[in-house]
Structure 1
Amino acid sequence: MTDTFPVLDLSDAAGSEEDRARFLRRLRVAVHEVGFFQLVGHGIEDADDMLDLTRRFFALPEADRLAMNILDSPLFRGYSELGREHTKGVPDQRRQLDIGPEQPARPLAPGDPAYRCLIGSNRWPETMPELRPAVESWIARLTDLSHRLLRLLLESLEAPAGFLDDVVEPDPQIHLKLLHYPGPAQTDGDAGDGQGTGIHNDLGLLTLLVQDDKGGLQVAVGDDRFAEVPVIPGAFVVNLGELLEVATRGYVRATKHRVIRPAPGVDRYSIPFFYNPRLDATMQPLPSPYVAGSDGVVAEADNPLFALYGDNVMKGLIRSFPEIVARHHPTLAAAARSTSA
């Protein structure tokens, strides 16, 4: 077994032939055995600035944030109060701002797949105009980094590095969240069960996470056992989504994880960036000797995996935001259930 959460230096991939080979070998072991690793040497130096921007957003008056209430968005974008998003039916104790690809709205037509409802523009706070350019710059740079990392991951599996280029280009379905986990005000019943974010898998390809120094992210490392991901300044925590598990027939792991709510009086901030296929893209098995010898995806009755990304993401949104579904898409759950992998 490898280190629980290996630390990989991306600059090694551009180093000597020996350095690159060692990087690819460690990357393959990490995505197979753990499903999580930490990435340094990536050249993106303003994570602290982005976390500061996140703190400032959540310090805005509640009325300014509620002007972007996610309940008013059929695209599942905007600001969520505590408990708005659910994991396995339990409200998550975090505030968040959900941001997706900035695209022209496309009204749904009869016969359109359910995931077409996700195409449109974002909502931005009028009282914080500096947020949009900073976030859009961050998204552009993390999109480039994610694509580079995806190609390296495929190379580590001895698959053609560009095999998934057509799956993500020209419009990957990126998704970014600004997150605030406030600790409970006191240690009595207000603390709930300690769930910041419940146990889940990510839905797409890659997740790159910046977390502050408070910790709380925990990853499943065995039966009923979770380990906390150490905080490394300047590092991205990287994990794999369900679509890579599908494409590798289970060789790559979309590992379960959760976030524990901070202690009373403590505030935790983080910024996850999700790099996903196009909504209409379908995953195909990677031409890799490791994939060919894999046992296949382990089926879970309560979590079907769909090879079409649009179907897979709708599965997650229907579960996570029941109030939005009820308000804007009353037939959405039935439509999503009718799709197949």
Structure 2
Amino acid sequence: MMNALPIIDLAKLDRPQERAEFYAHLREVARNIGFFYLVGHGVPNAQIQTVLQQGKAFFEQPLTQKQQINMLYSPHFRGYTGPKEEYTQAKPDGREQIDIGAELPLWPNRPSDKPWLQLQGPNLWPEGLPEFKPTILYYQQTMRAVAIRLLRAFLVALGQDEHALDDLIADPPVHLLKLVRYPTASAEADTQGVGAHKDTDILTLLWQDKVGGLQVETDTGWVDVPYVPDSFVINIGEILELATNGYLRANVHRVVAPHSGEDRYSICYFLAPNLDSKVHLLSLPASYAALALGPEADPANPMFENLGANSFKSRLRAHPQVAKRHYSSQS
């Protein structure tokens, strides 16, 4: 497989003479493949490396210590999951990870008929790593700013007011950071690092190391997404696909477990919608609307109009043991 993904330079937004070219390129890339590399994002490499160091320090702990913050203890789906504990398309993924959301109190006065509001709450933090929590929360703030800037650039590129989807990103903030380790697979048949799927949220910003394994499905087959220095891999979530009637493309991707004898590490930031928000269709200019293919529907995993309910459904499906423990009536 050859690398066919384009590179978008976000720094061009700061150069007035290059903005028109930037928006045209972004609009084309987003419609044709929905996956690209983002450079010029302004996130210092030193900050990324500090997050990576904290992640590795966590994963290098004995299993008994990691299990102290197992996701089973969190009704908010936060904390540690080991290999084969998260599921994609009903099959276990080979990665281990820690999920960290916005550090917020429980949703006040939560109605009983809105169980998805239970997704808001505190995180589980590892003991013995005093720099872990401040490092991660600072990185979340940094990545949220980049993600929102990119979201607003998409809107301008599509002839919209840059604040047209601000209701989706209104406070209290909703986002998710995954620190992920893919252990080298023990057998050639054990290939699912993460199964093929679309991301259900707004945007995903991924930092990955040089080991490789990420692949995206295109019209001509699966394409490798190798490491590119000083970049994030960006993919569009299903919410933007819905809001643009399929002009923006949420693409299927997967991670093949490494067999090189070297573990793979990644840092995934997901910009997610406010738990009490709903998706609405943007009114695109006629020339763009004519190119919108409509969102691709998955009968086995339908999108709900209420975005909090949709996020909740995705977590129940991905973490059946957590769902069984805390939400047996919904799962």
| Structure 1 counterpart of 2:195 | 198
Please tell me the residue identity of whatever aligns with 1:12.
K
Distance 1:196 1:295 in 2: 30
* Closer/same/farther in 2, CA of residues 170 and 243 from structure 1, 3 Å limit: same
* Secondary structure in structure 1 of the residue aligned to 2:181: strand
Aligned partner of 1:43 in structure 2 is: 42
Q: How far does residue 314 in structure 1 lie from its aligned partner after superposition?
A: 1.7
Tell whether 2:77 aligns with 1:76: yes
> Which one is further off, 282-291 or 253-262?
282-291
1:6 partner amino acid: P
SS of the residue 2:69 aligns to? coil
TM-score, structure 2 length as denominator? 0.94
Q: Match for residue 214 of structure 2?
A: 217
For 1:320, the equivalent position in structure 2 comes to 318
TM norm structure 1? 0.91
CA distance in 1 between partners of 2:199 and 2:276 (Å)? 18
Rounded Cα–Cα distance in structure 1 between residues aligned with 2:324 and 2:177: 24
Distance in 2 (alpha carbons) for counterparts of 1:111 and 1:67:
29
Supply the AA of the counterpart residue of 2:306: L
1:247 aligns with 2:243: yes
Per-residue deviation at 1:110?
5.5
Using the aligned pairs only, state the percent identity: 39
Aligned mates of 1:318, 1:198 — CA distance in 2: 16
Asked whether 1:276 is paired with 2:278, we answer: no
* Aligned residue runs from structure 1 range 132-151, under 5 A: 132-151=133-152
Give the distance between the partners of 1:6 and 1:306, measured in 2 at CA: 31
Secondary structure of 1:5's aligned partner: coil
- Following TM superposition, by how much is the alpha carbon of 1:256 offset from its aligned partner in structure 2, in angstroms? 0.3
1:53-85: CA deviations, max 9, x gaps? 222211112121111011121111100011100
Write out per-residue CA displacement over residues 206-231 of structure 1, whole angstroms, 9 at most, x where no aligned residue: 100000111111000126x2101121
**Structure 2 equivalent of residue 231 of structure 1:** 227
Q: 1:107 Cα shift?
A: 7.3
1:1-341 matches, within 5 Å, as: 4-17=4-17, 19-45=18-44, 46-106=47-107, 111-185=112-186, 190-222=187-219, 225-289=221-285, 292-293=289-290, 294-333=292-331
Q: Name the SS of the counterpart of 1:67 in structure 2.
A: helix
Q: Secondary structure at the match of 2:147?
A: helix
SS of 1:332's partner is coil
Deviation of 1:299 after TM superposition, in Å, equals 2.3
CA contact 1:246–1:307 (8 Å) conserved in 2: no
In 2: Cα distance, 1:173 partner to 1:5 partner: 28
Q: CA deviation at 1:111?
A: 3.1
* Preserved CA contact (<8 Å) 1:51 1:212: no
Please give the secondary structure, in 2, of the residue aligned with 1:167: helix
- For residues 50 and 260 of structure 1, what CA distance do their matches in structure 2 show? 23
Query: For 1:104 and 1:12, how far apart are their aligned partners in 2?
Result: 38
Displacement, 1:109?
5.2
Deviates more, 1:94-103 or 1:315-324: 315-324
**Residue type of the partner of 1:213?**
K
What CA RMSD, in Å, does the superposition of the two structures yield over aligned residues?
Answer: 1.6
CA deviation string 1:290-314 (max 9, x = no partner): 5633242232211212232112212
CA distance 1:133–1:110, shift in 2 (3 Å):
closer
Change (3 A) 1:297 1:184: closer
